[in-house]
Structure 1
Amino acid sequence: IGTTKFTVVGVMAEKGLVSGVDYDGFVYIPITVVFQKFVPSQMAEDRVRTIYVQAESQETMASAILQIESLLARRHDVEMDSPDFTVQTQQDIIDTQEATTAAFRSLLAWVAGVSLLVGGIGIMNIMLVSVTERTREIGIRQSVGATPADIRWQFLTEALMLSLVGGLIGVVAGVSGAWLFGASGDMRTVIVPSSILLAFGSAAAVGVFFGYFPATKAAQLDPIEALRHE
């Protein structure tokens, strides 16, 4: 390490990646050697920030925590009820990570919801403009026998196709972004097929929901007034 030579006396059991950290790439050396070789003496006292302790079993976890807290309180010369340190178990860390993940998912859900709302309003506006511009075409179709249901279905289909094209673009962009992220980093990304189906389903639902009003407006046009429209 640097210019200091060390002798390898053992290899730890494989652990793999944990929370993005490769524990198989760690090198363990005595802390006294760290202070002697790598840390200036005036800083050594302050350099220990974290200590990892492994209990014998899950049943002895609570007892081990009490012993650690008692020992650190004596070493730091503080009271047990006002410590200047914290003791965390692996479960505490997992709970914190899960809470953070849940908050992040909620944020993404809100962003996705707002995006769908904005996209749906955009589709509705486009379809309303389309109905206005094609009023005469609608009147001609009605005059040759098209029913209100036919007109409604035509515009609903157009809104659905418009939203599905947007959903396809979003899926392609998302999959490409995930692939690039996985290819450029140490973390592997996984594409879940159900999420792709959910994306298309959401896009279809938005298209039908926001396209229904323009489609109904087109279906309710008076044929005579529609034919007179310029």
Structure 2
Amino acid sequence: QGLQRRGATVVGISRSPAPQDGGPGERWLVWNGQIDAALEALLLDVDILVINHGVNPLGRRDATAIAETLQANLLSAQALIDLFLRQTRQLPRQRRVHRELWVNTSEAEVGPAFSPVYEVSKRSLGNLLTLQSLDAPCPVRRLVLGPFRSSLNPYGLMSADFVAERILNLAARDLRLIIVSFNPCTYLLAPLASLMGTLYGRLCTGPAAVVNPDP
């Protein structure tokens, strides 16, 4: 809703059907988790892709919980990230300048969430995002968010509206690492983890092979 108040047209991509009340999305794609023509066509029209989905298995550690959590929190997110960045590289310059990728890696990336499988999935997502950011053709904003009330966490300390407004205000200042949390440790640990991951990635990996797009 915050983006809509700023004039954006919101498109929803979910494995769930569109909400009966319409929800915030003016368009809605029920996604099967696979990269297909419908998803590619939809993302081509998107300027800002916000990845903010996942599941929390809480105290479970069985094989099913691990597989479902990695698929929802890591693999499907990576599929969207890869497609969006690949499309962005192929777009003409006048379109590329408007594209941005926002990814909610969660406060679980740097602190306990009392759900080990969830933490592993989110930390892996954060680590891969750090590497992909090194060669990204557009701004990549990492959202490190404390617990806010949602269907995933009905007991969150912050309201979703408060978190959304803080994210938009910080993004307007062109911050690439956006932290919204009541935990002061997160404001120390998240930048440190991001910096160390970036330095480590530059030291131990080479640039990705990129086909130069048309100007």
TM over 0.5: no
More strand by share: 2
Q: With CA pairs under 8 Å and 6+ residues apart, which has the higher RCO, 1 or 2?
A: 1
Q: Quick check: which has more Rg, 1 or 2?
A: 1
Q: Which has the larger helix fraction?
A: 1
TM-score bracket, shorter-length normalisation = under 0.3
